[in-house]
Amino acid sequence: MAFATRPFVRAASSSAAAAAAATAAAKKLIVKHVTVIGGGLMGAGIAQVAAASGHTVVLVDQSDEILKKSTKGIEESLKRVTKKKFADKPEAGAEFVEKTLKNLTTSTDAVAVVHSTDLVIEAIVENQEIKNELFKRLDKFAPEHTIFASNTSSLQITQLANSTTRQDRFGGLHFFNPVPMMKLVEVIKTPMTSQKTFESLVDFSKAVGKSPVSCKDTPGFIVNRLLVPYMMEAVRLFERGDASKEDIDVAMKLGAGYPMGPFELLDYVGLDTSKYIIDGWHALEPNNPLFLPSPLLDRLVEEKKLGRKTGEGFYKYK
């Protein structure tokens, strides 16, 4: 019996050594330099938390005017953070703001700045063709080790990855608005995303102070896959005349403990955004009843009643 076990022990030791070597060869990337494409609320928020956690960040958008607005918004947001975080230490708060802003620069030339970045996070308009074109262009200039990630909330990460030659170094990083306040990040792994890339994205999410959850590349990932059909079912309930929108909102706030009712949330998110998401999912899975479009939602969007941002959606706002 002893003779029989010895070859096994040697084989196991050999396998362990090989596994250790493979692990060392596939050492995950520690992200230090970050490029964020898109200076809107999401992009600026991502840039802020990355810079605040010690990363070197370049925020990119199409014009200096947009970037000045983004930088001003980040500075104001940081000051709000310091009032809570450094309430009794104003000098430490001022130092925190100064240090964070030193970590942040801006550019209107994405191609020029990606040559030295570890991670590119895209947070531009929710349009498949525009995103594909961006990633295709940047793929030619970014270093081989650079990871690409999209902050999309509704598009398939796999389709975006296919516009590049680095499908194994491509994943989803879905932050939530407002980014400095919301603790969640959905880390999306496509069938082609390497384990090394996935772990690097998880580690980056933790490094910027977020709580990452992982999900496969399914429509809406976790939160929106549950949230959007919930909001659409509320609209259908109202369309059928089963209950008023006011009572549906009150019911979900008092009965389920939600901070906002579904119609309040739809107006907050933007009816055009919700329509874009559900239309995209319906095109992918036309037989899924959860993804059926809503005639009422379609009509409100056609009338440009998009919610809070236009002053009227399901409710009117002053």
Active site residue 186: yes
Active site residue 53: no
Catalytic residue among 70, 150, 153, 194: 153
**Residues 188/215, Cβ–Cβ less than 8 Å:** yes
CB neighbours of residue 64 within 10 Å: 11
Active site residue 132: no
**Residues 209/49, Cβ–Cβ less than 8 Å:** yes
Active site residue 33: no
Distance separating alpha carbons of residues 236 and 23, to the nearest angstrom: 51
Annotated binding site for NAD(+): 38-43, 61, 126, 131, 153, 177, 309
Distance separating alpha carbons of residues 130 and 121, to the nearest angstrom: 15
Annotated binding site for CoA: 77, 84, 153
Catalytic residue among 70, 194, 224, 274: 224
**Residues 66/38, Cβ–Cβ less than 8 Å:** no
**Residues 34/57, Cβ–Cβ less than 8 Å:** yes
Question: CA triplet 95, 100, 103: central angle to 5 degrees?
Answer: 130
Beta bridge partners of 121: 36, 149
Sign of CA dihedral 261, 263, 269, 274: positive
Catalytic residue among 186, 200, 205, 264: 186
Distance separating alpha carbons of residues 121 and 142, to the nearest angstrom: 13
Annotated binding site: 38-43, 61, 77, 84, 126, 131, 153, 177, 309
Catalytic residue among 55, 70, 150, 174: 174
Structure tokens at 295: 């005639």
Distance separating alpha carbons of residues 248 and 9, to the nearest angstrom: 65
* Residue numbers annotated as active site: 153, 174, 186, 224
